[in-house]
Amino acid sequence: GAGVSQSPSNKVTEKGKDVELRCDPISGHTALYWYRQRLGQGLEFLIYFQGNSAPDKSGLPSDRFSAERTGESVSTLTIQRTQQEDSAVYLCASSFPTGVYGYTFGSGTRLTVV
């Protein structure tokens, strides 16, 4: 596709349930990033993929969070046993290996944990 696609765009889940968020990067972009934005705050880095390996997962807030990527394509961010503090907009971005100079963000998934 022409841009970074994220699904679902909105997700409401009950506390304690697991959720999966999906990101389809721009074709040819080998680097993929997950960020989240909690209300009134800036974007927080979660994890970075180069191909299907994750050289930097330092931003994952707890072991309830995990992510994987299939080759140089789709990535899935999984949050297990969701908590209310997980409510945020989860943003995915992709780029060529040049990295920070050329991010393209998706529109995000708004996750609400009730």
Partner 1 sequence: DQQVKQNSPSLSVQEGRISILNCDYTNSMFDYFLWYKKYPAEGPTFLISISSIKDKNEDGRFTVFLNKSAKHLSLHIVPSQPGDSAVYFCAASVQGAQKLVFGQGTRLTINP
Give me the residues that bind partner 1 (CB under 8 A), please.
4, 31, 33, 35, 40-45, 48, 50, 55-56, 59, 91, 93, 99-108
Beta carbon nearer to partner 1, 51 or 80: 51
Neighbours of 111 (CB within 10 A): 21
Smallest separation (angstroms) from partner 1 to the CB of 80:
23
Which residues touch 43 (CB under 8 Å, ≥6 apart)? Answer: 35, 36, 37, 91
Q: Write down the least CB distance from residue 108 to partner 1, Å.
A: 6
Specify the residue, 34 or 113, whose C-beta has the smaller distance to partner 1: 34
Give buried/exposed letters for 18-49 (b at 16+ CB in 10 A, else e).
ebebebbbbeebbbbbbbbeeeeeebeebbbb
CB 15 → partner 1: shortest distance, Å?
25
